[in-house]
Amino acid sequence: MKYNALTQMKAKNLGPGKHADGQGLWLIKKEKISGKWIVRIVIQGKRREMGLGRWPDVSIAEARERASEARQHVRDGMDPIAERQEQSKKPLSLTVEEAVHGCFEARQAELKHDGKAGRWLSPLKTHILPKIGSKPIESIDQHAIKDVLDPIWHSKADTARKALNRLNLTLSHAAALGLEVDLQAPMEARALMGKQRHEVTNIPSMPYQEVPKFYKWLSGQELIAAKALQFLILTAARTSEVRLATFDEITEGVWRLPAERTKTGAPHRIPLSKAAQNLIATMPHMKDCPYIFASNRGKPLSDMAMSTLMKREGYTARPHGFRASFRTWADEQSDYPFEVKEMALGHKVGSNTVRAYQRSDQLEARISLMEDWQNSILVI
């Protein structure tokens, strides 16, 4: 067969059909003005056709060069078709910002409320992305991480720790995509920055012996924040759980929190003592507002309302600290089993295997526990 049989003008004038250029190179035209190049090669005894691009976008000279490279690969014992398929599977290089958002989307279902509060991304958006967000994720090493976290490693230790952990997850996500990233970089950056000097402090709590006096004072207040604080104390619930509590979550003396409203991501039942039930009965139902502790505008109570009330009255304790008050009282003043006290706080108890077999949430025992806690509060 004649080699280099086609010219640019001849290719342009040819009609639909298969037209040979020689050495296995063919121009296939479905219509006069467009077509595609293929090269026929024999791989492991089988004749294969490999596309080389569209005509006229790919010129005759370029098609011949691509065909020559394919034949050379075959002579070297390689499969150019398989090689190209493997190359197409490899992800394009990602910037740090693109990798972060890809990781967030992959993990979003695991996060509370699908991560809509933005807390997962916040440390990265504030301290990482402004400085290295535009860099390729494959270029990030321990020195790049150290440079961005050094300024806050000790002064904002918790934020720095979260940023480092989430950057570590991002690198693992990029590695799973097939990118060549340094998975050891976060650990090595931590070693370079050293141990954090910042000491974690617990949220201030009120001694359980002082809770009755405080609760009595709250009883004389008309503010919604005061009512919410009373309910929080009686239930030992988390602040966000109380703020967003709705009337339809409470039935037959039990407050049923759906999975998306709990820190553990599992549904949680909270038995309500008589005092807690009576408190709910006094709360007004606002039209088109599902919340028990709503503002005048029908919105959930502000996340700072309860804390602000306590600050204004000179208390150092914070609303979340009443969970510790309850737990200390339960340890020192009751004989309930460890599991009952932990479940009252909505904590997971035991390993995954243990929980798979122990499916009771100890509701009956917890009803008694919460009644005893109520009685200890109402002694004044």
Tell me, yes or no, whether 107 and 181 share the same domain: yes
The last residue of one of the domains, among 89, 122, 138, is 89
In this structure, what DSSP letter does residue 195 have? S
Tell me, yes or no, whether 19 and 159 share the same domain: no
pLDDT for 100 equals: 95
Confirm whether 216 is domain-assigned: yes
Confirm whether 1 is domain-assigned: no
Tell me, yes or no, whether 239 and 359 share the same domain: yes
Confirm whether 165 is domain-assigned: yes
Pick the range with the lowest mean pLDDT from 2-6, 78-82, 198-202.
Answer: 198-202
φ, ψ dihedrals at 358, nearest 5°: -95, 95
Proportion of the chain above pLDDT 90, given as a percent: 65
Of the two residues 139 and 82, the one the predictor is more confident about is 139
pLDDT for 118 equals: 77
**Structure tokens that stand for 31 in this block:** 């219509």
Tell me, yes or no, whether 102 and 85 share the same domain: no
Tell me, yes or no, whether 158 and 287 share the same domain: no
Tell me, yes or no, whether 154 and 286 share the same domain: no
pLDDT for 357 equals: 45
Confirm whether 203 is domain-assigned: no
Tell me, yes or no, whether 301 and 362 share the same domain: yes
Answer yes or no: is pLDDT of 188 > 60: yes
Confirm whether 371 is domain-assigned: yes
**Structure tokens that stand for 354 in this block:** 């243990």
Encode pLDDT of 39-65 as tens digits.
999 988 889 999 988 999 899 999 999
The last residue of one of the domains, among 167, 193, 219, is 193
End-to-end CA distance of the chain: 108
Encode pLDDT of 300-348 as tens digits.
898 899 999 999 999 999 999 999 999 999 999 999 999 999 999 998 8
Tell me, yes or no, whether 83 and 106 share the same domain: no
The last residue of one of the domains, among 89, 122, 153, is 89
pLDDT for 198 equals: 60
Answer yes or no: is pLDDT of 214 > 60: yes
Report the CATH number at residue 318. 1.10.443.10
Confirm whether 238 is domain-assigned: yes
Global confidence as pTM: 0.56
The DSSP line for 138-149 is: GG--HHHHHHHH
Tell me, yes or no, whether 181 and 249 share the same domain: no
Tell me, yes or no, whether 102 and 232 share the same domain: no
Side-chain-side CA neighbours of residue 271 (13 Å):
20
Answer yes or no: is pLDDT of 258 > 50: yes
Residue ranges making up the domain that contains 323: 208-377
Confirm whether 103 is domain-assigned: yes
Report the CATH number at residue 25. 3.30.160.390
pLDDT for 113 equals: 63
Report whether the peptide linkage leading into residue 56 is cis, meaning its omega lies within 30 degrees of zero: yes
Strand partners, 136: 95
Proportion of the chain above pLDDT 70, given as a percent: 92
Cβ contacts of 81 within 8 Å, gap of 6 or more: 43, 48, 50
Confirm whether 3 is domain-assigned: no
Radius of gyration of the chain (CA): 33
Residues 203, 321 contacting (CB under 8 angstroms): yes
Domain count of the fold of the chain: 3
